Copies of this chain bind each other. A is one copy, B any other.
């Protein structure tokens, strides 16, 4: 009996989940729900159906876990509690400030329905959060650092594209190597925004646009660029397509701490991700936690969970015996 997966929303993340299911022989994709006309949505998995989202409730007893692949701004705050009333669900809600409220809503719906809802799964929040938590528990006297990149920031790329005279653009967030090295060396630096990351932009201009004006407008944009050292490159549309169509990302979570009776010994814990495809890696984490949701529901657990609440073994298809023999 394979774990039957449903996907709600077929964008980059939904497609990534579809690919990830294929890599896990204990799972199968049963259905993809879309807000579009199902006939216009071509998926890769021959054996799975495409249905309109309005039909989801009819699948209540036909899938084991629904993976919610909508956005955090407006989709998930509404979708996750709603579908947790019908399915075990997993989402990648990433609006840090609203997590407590989202947790409460999902918890109430999932408990009432006897389902498991796992929220804020991915890499940040997700694997980065886990590593921050483990490292803080192990080294209570220390300092946390998170660096993002090198990777594409969707928000900053959108900001560039809103500048007048810009046809298209892509922004990379890049960690400052000397700052990373100072942390690794145990210097426990206090780092400003500018000292942690630089921003690199690749911009395609509209015909006749003023390059200097565009560059100045980008570099001085408050919140997005003015607090950073920003580089702007002007390239052709072909170059943008050829060299910048992937969605890489990643980053570093570090904890620098001290132990000993007088804090005489220094320790560094570093977790690093280097990802060719941000949505596909997020999807792979979602699928591992979908397995956890399934197993926890089988045990009769209910309510909202985060990565902090879930024992690692739930993520693996291996038994306890296999894990102890092979990976411990």
Interface residues of A (CB under 8 A from B): 16, 18-20, 22-24, 44, 96, 99-100, 103, 120, 125, 127, 129-134, 136-141, 184, 246, 250, 259-261, 265-277, 280-281, 283-285, 288, 291, 306-313, 315-317, 320-321, 323-325, 327-328
- Given A99-B325, A129-B328, A311-B311, A267-B276 contact (CB < 8 Å): yes
A314 vs chain B, min Cβ distance (A):
9
Select which of B120, B324, B327 is within 8 A of A328 by beta carbon.
B120
Which residues from chain B contact A315 at a C-beta distance below 8 Å? 133-134, 137-138
Which residues from chain B contact A276 at a C-beta distance below 8 Å? 259, 265-267
Indicate how many identical chains form the complex. 2
Select which of B132, B274, B309 is within 8 A of A268 by beta carbon.
B274
Which residues from chain B contact A125 at a C-beta distance below 8 Å? 328
In the assembled complex, the Cα of A308 lies from the Cα of B129 at a distance in Å of 17
Which residues from chain B contact A275 at a C-beta distance below 8 Å? 265, 267-268
Select which of B44, B261, B284, B328 is within 8 A of A99 by beta carbon.
B328
Select which of B24, B269, B277, B310 is within 8 A of A260 by beta carbon.
B277
In the assembled complex, the Cα of A120 lies from the Cα of B99 at a distance in Å of 34
In the assembled complex, the Cα of A270 lies from the Cα of B127 at a distance in Å of 12
A157 vs chain B, min Cβ distance (A):
19
* Residue from the set A18, A96, A250, A324 with the largest chain B CB neighbour count within 10 Å: A324
Q: Are B133 and A316 in contact (CB under 8 A)?
A: yes
A186 vs chain B, min Cβ distance (A):
8
Which residues from chain B contact A324 at a C-beta distance below 8 Å? 99-100, 103, 306, 308
- Given A273-B267, A274-B184, A288-B137 contact (CB < 8 Å): yes
A212 vs chain B, min Cβ distance (A):
37
- Given A129-B328, A139-B284, A269-B273 contact (CB < 8 Å): yes
Select which of B96, B260, B281, B308 is within 8 A of A323 by beta carbon.
B308
Q: Are B308 and A280 in contact (CB under 8 A)?
A: no
Which residues from chain B contact A327 at a C-beta distance below 8 Å? 129, 132-133, 136, 308
- Given A134-B127, A259-B19, A313-B309 contact (CB < 8 Å): yes
Q: Are B259 and A325 in contact (CB under 8 A)?
A: no
Chain B, Cβ-Cβ closest to A93 = B328
10 smallest beta-carbon distances between A and B, as pairs:
A265-B276, A137-B315, A268-B274, A265-B277, A308-B313, A259-B280, A270-B272, A137-B288, A129-B328, A311-B311
A264 vs chain B, min Cβ distance (A):
8
In the assembled complex, the Cα of A139 lies from the Cα of B276 at a distance in Å of 13
- Given A266-B276, A327-B133, A312-B308 contact (CB < 8 Å): yes
